């Protein structure tokens, strides 16, 4: 066994290595097709052919593995590919889901998958692009444009993939499926059947899935939130540094001694135009700078020295006075005093801005104005959202990959073995007639996870083996007890019979007639609600006790050669109530009365008549227990065909005619008529015991 397991493990490792090489080939197909269309200059991607092959032929994990790694490897040439790994994972997941439902079995079904794949490639991809890079188009226009293009892209991908799938051998799906069986391999139908096992709340697989999802969501949320806030703070610090540096360079560009000349003489003042051009060049060379301007701060407001046009918004004219925004209320005293101030974030007249004021000094060291820069905080937010979209895209793809990988591992190492064990145990519990086969089914699972689950499996197999052996012993002992019980019944009946010199083999013959009547009743469906195998067995086994009460009848009466007097007949009839008393005492000594209940009915009521003229209680019709109505026919018929001290035996035909005459008066009409109609079978028993 150890050598076999080592061999299987080695073969499994070689197979997994071959599979990995095939999946690497699928990645190569993705990258090659993508580079080819790029080389041709086509506005397509064609980077999911290998992904579809892995998904359709291998399943969830291979498809997602191929799709995710394709984008990661492609990012070495273009980093933007990395951000679309999540989209490729969603495409692989969708393709696998559809493949498992037969969508890649025929051409027309395969074509139906194109819109689904395009939804993720063009739809989700377009939304991702919008958040990462923005667009000159409206969101709806960009989405529609991407969807149309991706429909063509996915149509080409599906057609090529379907052709390759049909070219490959039909066994490719089973060969390329990534498995890690730690037991006897199960078919899909066996897996579905095993998973039908009901649980009180949630299946283990669902709990594992929820646990992984919760952990991953918490990790993703925490990591993304921390990354987002760190990036946002870092970006704000960077923007502040950029604004301060540009404001400082602006201050250095301006000659502080000429500020009053500029305000007095206007734009015609010497060097004004040159300085303005320098400021434009400085602004154009600085990223993220929204506005550059130079203000002289006075009590009545901000006097414009320079205010650069933005292209869409003209700057204020030289000498204009701009009132203070409310956001600057707290820093106005410092500005009037010519002090340095920290950058200010405002959201007033000119929008949401990060503003930096740097003082400009004259040759005497006096602050004559401020060089100012504004950076749009909206740009910072757009960058933060773009960063967030990149992080989420990477995490979503990684999340699905890890989820599928964990489920794949837990399936083969935990849930499949557990489901198989549970299903086998259920079948063992339900199949009481062939428990040995149930143990063999459980042993055939060959679970070898190498952990506590394997220990549980071995303990379960051992326990069920012991249970089967124990039940076999119990069954054998039960049969022995039953045989002993039946033997004791016949011994007791023989003791009674040995006192009655006229009865001969009466108890055995009546038991045979009872057996025959029960068989006929089952065949003809007479009283089917009462007749079954268990009932028949009980009645047949207790039949020999029907005359047990005769043990209390005096020998002189029991063996009298002539006709009994009325007093003697009255004494003879007491054997029914005597039999009842004997069996009731026996029942009082036993916790399980079992067959004794029917023995009580037989001993007490087998001389009752259908019309109510019998004894000891004068019951009539179906008031008489069914077993006693059966015994009445058996008892009378055997008495008629047997020798008695007071009579010679009747012929078989005469006895049958007497039974027939008693239909509806002495005997139950349904049972007696069936008895008479099967005279040939009755004759066989009668002849056998002559």
- The 10s digit of each residue's pLDDT in 418-464 is 888 888 887 777 776 677 777 888 888 888 888 888 888 888 888 88
User: What stretches in the chain show pLDDT beneath 50?
Assistant: 1-10, 501-504
In a domain, 467, yes or no: no
Among 326, 361, 384, the domain boundary falls at 384
In a domain, 476, yes or no: no
| Closest C-alpha to 96, from 78, 116, 79, 77 | 116
Q: Residue 110: exposed, middle, or buried by beta-carbon count in 10 A (0-12, 13-18, 19+)?
A: buried
In a domain, 6, yes or no: no
Taking the alpha carbons at both ends of the chain, their separation in whole angstroms is: 65
Q: What is the largest CA-CA distance in the chain?
A: 166
Same domain, 262 and 332: yes
Write out the two tokens for 320.
């204009």
| Closest C-alpha to 518, from 627, 681, 666 | 627
Cβ-contact 598, 539 below 8 angstroms = yes
| Closest C-alpha to 542, from 483, 598, 485 | 598
Same domain, 58 and 122: yes
Helix (H, G, I), strand (E, B) or coil at 354: strand
- The 10s digit of each residue's pLDDT in 5-24 is 334 444 567 777 888 888 89
**What distance in Å separates the CA atoms of residue 78 and residue 611, rounded to the nearest whole number?**
104
In a domain, 9, yes or no: no
Q: Residue 103 has what DSSP assignment?
A: T
pLDDT, position 182: 85
Same domain, 28 and 161: yes
Residue 117: which CATH number? 1.10.1760.20
Residue 246: which CATH number? 3.30.450.20
**What distance in Å separates the CA atoms of residue 599 and residue 577, rounded to the nearest whole number?**
13
Among 175, 193, 210, the domain boundary falls at 175
18 φ, ψ (degrees, to nearest 5):
-60, -40
Same domain, 239 and 127: no
Same domain, 248 and 372: yes
In a domain, 364, yes or no: yes
Residue 618: which CATH number? 1.10.3210.10
Write out the two tokens for 496.
């009674």
- The count of structural domains within the chain is 3
Same domain, 530 and 648: yes
pLDDT, position 472: 77
In a domain, 318, yes or no: yes
Same domain, 530 and 653: yes
Model's pTM, two decimal places? 0.62
In a domain, 420, yes or no: no
Element containing residue 371 per DSSP (H, E): strand 367-376
Residue 600: count of CB within 10 angstroms of its CB: 24
**What distance in Å separates the CA atoms of residue 74 and residue 30, rounded to the nearest whole number?**
10
Give the DSSP letter string of 131-177.
HHH--SS-HHHHHHHHHHHHHHHHHHHHHHHHHHHHHS-TTHHHHHS
pLDDT, position 482: 54
Q: Residue 559: exposed, middle, or buried by beta-carbon count in 10 A (0-12, 13-18, 19+)?
A: middle
Q: How many distinct helices (H) and strands (E) make up the chain?
A: 27, 6
- Structural domain boundaries enclosing 23: 17-175
Same domain, 645 and 531: yes
Same domain, 237 and 140: no
pLDDT, position 4: 43
Same domain, 158 and 74: yes
Cβ-contact 103, 110 below 8 angstroms = yes
Same domain, 120 and 243: no
SS (H, E, C) 598-660: HHHHHHHHCCCCCCCCCCCCCCCHHHCCHHHHHHHHHHHHHHHHCCECCECCCCHHHHHHHHH
pLDDT, position 8: 47
Among 384, 410, 428, the domain boundary falls at 384
pLDDT, position 179: 82
Q: Residue 667 has what DSSP assignment?
A: B
pLDDT, position 504: 47
Lateral strand order in the sheet of 301-307: 321-322, 301-307, 289-298, 367-376, 351-361, 344-348
- % the chain with pLDDT above 70: 91
Same domain, 532 and 648: yes
In a domain, 466, yes or no: no
Q: Residue 229: exposed, middle, or buried by beta-carbon count in 10 A (0-12, 13-18, 19+)?
A: exposed
């Amino acid at each position: 066994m150890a050598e076999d397991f080592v061999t299987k493990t080695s073969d499994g490792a070689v197979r997994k290595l071959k599979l990995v090489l095939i999946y690497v080939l699928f990645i190569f197909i993705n990258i090659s097709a993508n580079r080819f269309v790029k080389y041709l200059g086509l506005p397509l991607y064609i980077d999911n052919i290998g992904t579809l092959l892995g998904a359709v032929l291998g399943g969830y994990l291979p498809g997602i593995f191929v799709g995710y790694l394709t984008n990661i490897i492609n990012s070495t040439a273009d980093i933007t590919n990395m951000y679309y790994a999540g989209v490729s994972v969603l495409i692989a997941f969708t393709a696998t889901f559809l493949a498992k439902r037969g969508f890649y079995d025929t051409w027309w079904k395969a074509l139906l998958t194109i819109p689904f794949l395009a939804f993720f490639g063009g739809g989700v991809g377009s939304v991702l692009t919008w958040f990462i890079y923005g667009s000159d188009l409206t969101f709806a226009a960009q989405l529609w444009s991407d969807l149309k293009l991706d429909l063509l892209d996915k149509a080409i991908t599906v057609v090529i993939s379907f052709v390759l799938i049909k070219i490959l051998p039909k066994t490719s799906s089973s060969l390329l499926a990534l498995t890690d069986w730690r037991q006897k391999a199960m078919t899909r139908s066996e897996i579905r059947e095993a998973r039908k096992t009901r649980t009180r709340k949630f299946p283990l697989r669902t709990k594992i899935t929820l646990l992984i999802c919760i952990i991953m969501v918490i990790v993703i949320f925490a990591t993304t939130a921390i990354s987002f806030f760190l990036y946002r703070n870092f970006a704000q610090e960077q923007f502040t540094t950029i604004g301060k540096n540009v404001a400082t360079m602006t201050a250095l560009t301006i000659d502080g001694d000429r500020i009053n000349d500029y305000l007095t003489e206007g734009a015609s003042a010497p060097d004004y135009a040159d300085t303005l051009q320098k400021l434009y060049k400085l602004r154009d060379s600085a990223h993220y700078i929204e506005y550059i301007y130079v203000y002289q701060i006075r009590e009545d407001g901000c006097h414009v020295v320079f205010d650069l046009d933005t292209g869409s918004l003209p700057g204020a004219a030289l000498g204009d006075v701009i009132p203070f925004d409310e956001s600057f209320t707290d820093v106005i005293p410092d500005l009037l005093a010519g002090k340095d101030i920290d950058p200010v974030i405002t959201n007033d007249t000119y929008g949401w801005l990060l503003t930096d004021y740097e003082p400009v000094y004259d040759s005497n060291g006096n602050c004559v104005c401020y060089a100012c820069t504004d950076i749009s905080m909206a740009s910072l937010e757009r960058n933060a959202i773009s960063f967030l979209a990149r992080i989420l895209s990477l995490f979503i793809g990684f999340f699905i990959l890890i989820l599928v990988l964990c489920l794949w591992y837990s399936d083969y190492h935990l849930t499949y073995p557990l489901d198989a064990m549970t299903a086998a145990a259920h079948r063992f519990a339900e199949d009481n007639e062939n428990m040995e086969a149930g143990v063999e089914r459980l042993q055939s699972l060959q679970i070898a996870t190498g952990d506590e689950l394997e220990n549980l499996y071995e303990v379960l197999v051992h326990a069920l083996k012991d249970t089967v052996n124990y039940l076999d012993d119990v069954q054998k002992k039960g049969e022995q007890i039953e045989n002993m019980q039946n033997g004791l019944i016949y011994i007791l009946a023989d003791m009674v019979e040995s006192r009655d010199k006229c009865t001969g083999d009466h108890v055995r013959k009546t038991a045979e007639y009872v057996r025959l009547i029960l068989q006929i009743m089952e065949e003809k469906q007479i009283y089917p609600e009462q007749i079954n195998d268990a009932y028949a067995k009980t009645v047949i086994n207790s039949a020999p006790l029907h005359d047990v009460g005769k043990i209390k009848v005096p020998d002189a009466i029991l063996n009298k050669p002539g006709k009994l007097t009325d007093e003697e007949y009255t004494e003879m009839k007491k054997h029914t109530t005597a039999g009842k008393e004997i069996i009731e005492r026996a029942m009082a000594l036993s916790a399980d009365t079992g067959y004794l209940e029917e023995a009580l009915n037989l001993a007490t009521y087998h001389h009752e008549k259908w019309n109510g003229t019998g004894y000891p209680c004068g019951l009539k019709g179906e008031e008489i227990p069914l077993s006693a109505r059966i015994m009445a026919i058996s008892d009378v018929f055997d008495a008629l065909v047997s020798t008695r001290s007071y009579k010679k035996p009747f012929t078989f035909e005469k006895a049958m005619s007497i039974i027939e005459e008693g239909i509806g008066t002495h005997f139950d009409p349904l049972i007696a008529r069936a008895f008479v109609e099967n005279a040939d079978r009755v004759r066989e028993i009668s002849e056998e015991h002559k």
